[in-house]
Amino acid sequence: MSAVRAATPASSAASVRSVPPAAGAGVPRRGGQTAGIGLVLGGLVSQEFGAAVATALFPRAGAAGVVTLRLTLSAAVLLAVCRPRVRGYRRADWAVIAAFGAALAGMNSLFYQSIARIPLGAAVTFEVLGPLMLSVAIARRPRSWLWAGLALGGVALLSRGGFDRLNGAGVGFALGAAALWAAYIMLSARTGTRFPSADGLALAMVFAALLSLPAGIAGADSALLEPATLGLGAVVAVLSSVVPYSFELLALRQLAPAVFAVFMSLAPAVAAVAGYLVLGQSLSLPDIGAIALVVTASAGAVVASTR
């Protein structure tokens, strides 16, 4: 969920929820392509398995509490690692940080509310529609709308035959997260042009954590401070934020933005596997077919936009 600084939004549209503003991707080296692809896939696996662990933590702290734990712990780690400077920026720069942090908080909050109600693979499949439609809109090519139609066909298949416990509220939250993911991509790109390295991300994460605190405290209360909850929250923060941020930042230095975005299109498939292995969320043939259609459409839209 991509904030590739040097990429066009169209080529970045399939990026993951947690992608940070990266240094410009530049021209990839051939020898680094394999390593870059491995980093992208590793970040994806970490991201989606982190979401599965977060789902298992909901009975302890609730969805809002887990969001607060993830954002707060992630902000602490990023501040310690990045040590961003806070002086020398204009009011407009801080306005971008505030908007980026609000999108980050809203996107994660809606997504976690979604996976509290529907299976992980379904939630990510609906959520990826945000970057996909952004890519199609920016491309402004009639052929790109064919990929949008293919994705909508996958969503229709998912809704008809699909996952157990698929309900309207969960789908609505996922679609809301999709819209904020598209906003996140645009704001992340703007942040990357104003702040060096991952400084903008660290500052936006602090703002997002502050925004999430009231709902998290109201929903979880003292459970947030229990050792077991804090420990699992730290696991979620590392798997869902720290590892993906680091891997994807490195991958963007090895891969062209379009290649990066194509591989990020695999997010729904990876999420479905994580949901099955960690949470026991079964997959039917219609489920698999729907996810395959959306993954294909997302990758196809990226390629069409790049061309």
Give per-residue pLDDT as tens, 135-165: 777 766 777 777 778 887 887 777 665 555 5
Is 79 part of a structural domain of the chain? yes
Is 210 part of a structural domain of the chain? yes
Determine the Cα–Cα distance for residues 58 and 64; give it in Å rounded to an integer.
Answer: 9
- Binning the chain into helix, strand and coil, the percentages to the nearest 5 are 80, 0, 20
Is 112 part of a structural domain of the chain? yes
Tally of structural domains, the chain = 1
Is 263 part of a structural domain of the chain? yes
Considering the chain, what is the average pLDDT of its residues?
A: 81
Is 178 part of a structural domain of the chain? yes
Determine the Cα–Cα distance for residues 216 and 66; give it in Å rounded to an integer.
Answer: 7
Determine the Cα–Cα distance for residues 172 and 12; give it in Å rounded to an integer.
Answer: 24
Residue 27: per-residue pLDDT: 46
Residue 283: per-residue pLDDT: 78
What residue numbers bound the domain in which 249 lies? 9-17+29-306
Residue 101 has pLDDT above 90, yes or no: yes
Instruction: Return the C-alpha torsion angle 158, 161, 165, 167, nearest 10.
Output: 60
Do residues 118 and 170 touch, judged by C-beta distance below 8 A?
yes
Determine the Cα–Cα distance for residues 17 and 178; give it in Å rounded to an integer.
Answer: 10
CA atoms within 13 A on the CB side of 2: 37
Buried b (16+ CB within 10 A) or exposed e, 226-240: eeebeebbbbbbbbb
Is 135 part of a structural domain of the chain? yes
